Amino acid sequence: MEQMNLFFLNLLLVLPVFYFVLEYTRRKFSNYPPGPYPLPILGNFLNLHKPGHISLANLAKVHGPLMSLRLGAKLLIVGSNQAAATEILKVNDRVMCGRRIPQTFEAVGKTFDLVSILAANKCNESWKMMRTIFKTELVSAEATENKSVLREEKVKVLIDFLSNNKGNVVNIGEVVFSTSANFVSNLLFSKDFISIQDEGKVGAAKEHIREMERLASCFNLEDYYPIFKGLDVQGLGKKALKCIESLNACWDVIIDERETSIKNGVISKDKDFLDALLANGLNKDQINWIFGEVLITGVDTSSGAVEWAMAELIKNPEAMLKLREELTKELGEGTTVKDSDLPRLPFLNACVKETLRKLKFCSYPPGPYPLPIIGNILHLSSNDTAHVALANLAKIHGPIMSLKLGERLLIVGSSHEVATEILKIHDRVMCGRPVPKTLEVLGENLLTLVGAKSCTENWKILRGIFKTELVASEVINSNATMREEKVKELIDLLMEKVGKVVHIHDLVYTTAANIVSRLLFSQDFINIEDERKKINLVKEVEKLASTPNVADYFPIFSGLDVQGLRRNTLKCRENLYPLWDAVVDGRKESIKSGGDSCKNKDFLDVLLANGFSRNQINWILTEMTITGANTTSAAVEWMMAELIKNPEAMNKLGEELAKEISGNIVRDSDLPRLPYLNACLKESLRLHPTVGLVLRTATETCEVMNYTIPKDSEVWVNQWALGRDPTKWEDPLVFNPSRFLGSNLSYMGNNFEYIPFGSGKRMCPGLPLATRTVPLIVASLVHSFEWYLPDDTSPHELDMEEKLGLILQKSNPLLLIPKLKALEIRI
């Protein structure tokens, strides 16, 4: 298996070169119709990014009514106007009468010498004969007339069965399936296919038929890349063969019996389809295939519709009552319904139509058309701006969309209604989180706060400890001095850099990391002077955790580490964990020697007291440093960038600070007296929410906005788009802090048009700390210095490009020059 995968990958690497040469020569010397330029290997698959017919219509506007496209190695010609259609379907009808059969069934065809009504790949004599038999025996007007008696008979069997089962639980889908299957099988060979009582057999047959449908619609590499022909890399051929064999076993006996009785000269008075086939000299394998084809196309769809209609009627008792009334009125009590009664039952017809209409919607939400294999991955992966791409797609497909990421289903919500349904109404079910497989190398059952796959009991305990020990309001209040100290260190450092260009994110990163590490284990993590080495280590872990792992989306890769992510993660751990080990060992020593019993307890003490393992503590420290430091520094960077870009807001903030702050140091206790600062924070978070997308997974199948969300799908809420929704915000793209003055709107996760910290069970646990740290830092920066852009760039030229990793950050780092404020303010 592994070798196969490697072979596959190598192929992907080598093929493009050949391909370009080939395609170039082909284009040059052939006379194919014009068309979009195909990519290597993929060809024009990517041009088909909406439902096929719409994409093709749009392409035709560019390339003309007759186009050529390439799907893998296959050439596809598309006609889009009357002239082209006439040439294809009339003038050249005879030549163009082939039809594509998926390679999946090639193996079946070889074994059984396939003759087919629907899937014939050429119109040779055998096919013409089949079609004639089919037309005269099954779908001619006279045959249809006769079928009604048969249909009524089969329905009566169903009704009798149900009468005998009064008071018992009945699987409607299965009994209707057998009714419908027997109706078809009686047409084919005058016998019931399955007994209505035999639940096991009905279930098995239904499964086989479903599987065949699935296989028929599965994308098969071999259809488009001849290089794979016969290899059956996806195993579809093998599955099809097995499935067909089990199906054939169902009617082998019947065909044998009939052949024998014909041989013995027994002639039934009513000839059926099987007689006609035998009379035309078809062999058993061919007949098997035809039966399969007719059953697959005819049975499951109709029984499925009945099941849905019954479900709807049960769910809507009013409609059920009305239907009963109509039936009683038109037919009288206790009669059976006849085929000929149907035209007199308008409400029944309306129910059927409504069911079929709903069936179309009662499915996954709409979304862009997925490509084979990769799904919609290309819709997302362009230059780290998935949140923007998704917001744009939502404008086309609506506030709830579905996309395919490889083999995973992704649901994206982009309006406050959908956000409410996902994060409030279905919060419990949607409490999972997609976590890259990469992190699994760090240990099985590794307990993680932000990256937990589901809300287990242990996770709840850890979150509880976190909340009481680190972010409870008494703790936050009593730790204010520590935060002020760290911020003062930052301001002191900046004093030395007055007039020089400084990298805001990196400086603040150190401060934020040390605030977190003081809380965790009462030491600075990073020396503010020598920033780089440790910062880079932590950033490396962040990068690994935020890189999508192909194995998450393509299970075929799950045993491999094609991107080297696991290897790198392990390497990174080797460098990072010794730092924590030193801290933990030191603490254990001093606990043993009873050294600092008078010292205030910190988070590490609590973890040790709760018996967390070494590996576990190391990871918790890593995780909290990552999430605490980068989010805080990103938020400060965005807020400063917005203030620089909007000098009016900056001035207003400066005035507020000058008025309210006595002396030159901003204190935590000043914050409640700074409403404009608070409004600036809220406005900055509206435009630049820290994580951009709220990531969840559905732990059970559930229904959102009347769409089905299957278990294990990823569910994202685009909080970035919510903050910029023009129906909820006036001038959504303008940075206008005043909109929050005198407004009740809070980031606590109850107003779903504004959820910069998420909402519900998985809401950002660090919120209380972040909303005290970020404004304190920004206020101090603004109160102590005037800020300028380097190279005399004017404020409105400052770019605000975003990049989405684990968190949403500025694409180009904010570089600023601090200058001292007028002398009289500073002492």
As annotated, the binding site includes 764
What are the b/e assignments for 25-44, b being 16+ CB within 10 Å? eeeeeeeebebbebbebbbb
232 φψ region: left (φ > 0), alpha (ψ -120 to 50), beta (else): left
Which residue's structure tokens are 């990531």?
695
In the bound state with ligand NAG, the residue whose beta carbon lies nearer, of 517 and 713, is: 517
In the bound state with ligand NAG, the residue whose beta carbon lies nearer, of 30 and 600, is: 600
Closest contact distance (angstroms) between CB of 744 and ligand NAG is 4
Closest contact distance (angstroms) between CB of 22 and ligand NAG is 26
In the bound state with ligand NAG, the residue whose beta carbon lies nearer, of 169 and 598, is: 598
Rounded Cα distance between 774 and 515, Å, is: 11
Interacting residues with ligand NAG (CB under 6 A): 113-114, 121-122, 124-126, 142-143, 146, 382-383, 385, 475, 478-479, 482, 505-506, 518-519, 522, 539, 542-543, 546, 600-602, 630, 705-706, 742-744, 801, 805-807, 809
Strand 802-804 and strand 400-405: pairing?
A: unpaired
Q: Which residue is nearest to ligand NAG (CB)?
A: 600
Please answer whether residues 649 and 811 qualify as being in contact, where contact means their C-beta atoms are separated by less than 8 angstroms. no
Rounded Cα distance between 451 and 577, Å, is: 19
Rounded Cα distance between 66 and 91, Å, is: 15
Closest contact distance (angstroms) between CB of 808 and ligand NAG is 8
Structure tokens at 291: 């039966």
Closest contact distance (angstroms) between CB of 121 and ligand NAG is 5
Nearest of 758, 765, 767 to residue 715 by alpha carbon: 758
Rounded Cα distance between 588 and 261, Å, is: 90
In the bound state with ligand NAG, the residue whose beta carbon lies nearer, of 218 and 475, is: 475
Please answer whether residues 455 and 760 qualify as being in contact, where contact means their C-beta atoms are separated by less than 8 angstroms. no
Closest contact distance (angstroms) between CB of 68 and ligand NAG is 25
3-state DSSP assignment of residue 67:
strand
What would you report as the CA-atom Rg of the chain, rounded to the nearest whole angstrom?
Answer: 34
550 φψ region: left (φ > 0), alpha (ψ -120 to 50), beta (else): alpha
Rounded Cα distance between 685 and 105, Å, is: 55
Rounded Cα distance between 441 and 480, Å, is: 38
In the bound state with ligand NAG, the residue whose beta carbon lies nearer, of 79 and 628, is: 628
CA distances from 167 to 39, 162, 163, 202, 823 (A): 62, 9, 9, 21, 91
Closest contact distance (angstroms) between CB of 421 and ligand NAG is 8
In the bound state with ligand NAG, the residue whose beta carbon lies nearer, of 197 and 743, is: 743
In the bound state with ligand NAG, the residue whose beta carbon lies nearer, of 135 and 601, is: 601
Closest contact distance (angstroms) between CB of 503 and ligand NAG is 8
Long-range pairs of 489-497 with CB within 8 A, sequence gap ≥ 24? 489/528, 490/528, 490/777, 490/780, 491/780, 491/781, 491/784, 493/528, 493/529, 494/781, 494/784, 494/785, 494/818, 495/820, 497/818
Closest contact distance (angstroms) between CB of 483 and ligand NAG is 9
In the bound state with ligand NAG, the residue whose beta carbon lies nearer, of 71 and 470, is: 470
Closest contact distance (angstroms) between CB of 449 and ligand NAG is 16
In the bound state with ligand NAG, the residue whose beta carbon lies nearer, of 602 and 725, is: 602
Rounded Cα distance between 100 and 754, Å, is: 51
Binding residues for heme: 764
Closest contact distance (angstroms) between CB of 122 and ligand NAG is 6
Nearest of 502, 583, 587, 580 to residue 541 by alpha carbon: 580
Nearest of 697, 718, 685 to residue 414 by alpha carbon: 718
In the bound state with ligand NAG, the residue whose beta carbon lies nearer, of 503 and 761, is: 503
Closest contact distance (angstroms) between CB of 605 and ligand NAG is 9
Q: Which helix (H) or strand (E) holds 277?
A: helix 273-279
In the bound state with ligand NAG, the residue whose beta carbon lies nearer, of 518 and 645, is: 518
In the bound state with ligand NAG, the residue whose beta carbon lies nearer, of 17 and 149, is: 149
Please answer whether residues 98 and 112 qualify as being in contact, where contact means their C-beta atoms are separated by less than 8 angstroms. no
Closest contact distance (angstroms) between CB of 658 and ligand NAG is 28
SS3 per residue for 530-578: CCHHHHHHHHHHHHHHHCCCHHHHCHHHCCCCCCCHHHHHHHHHHHHHH
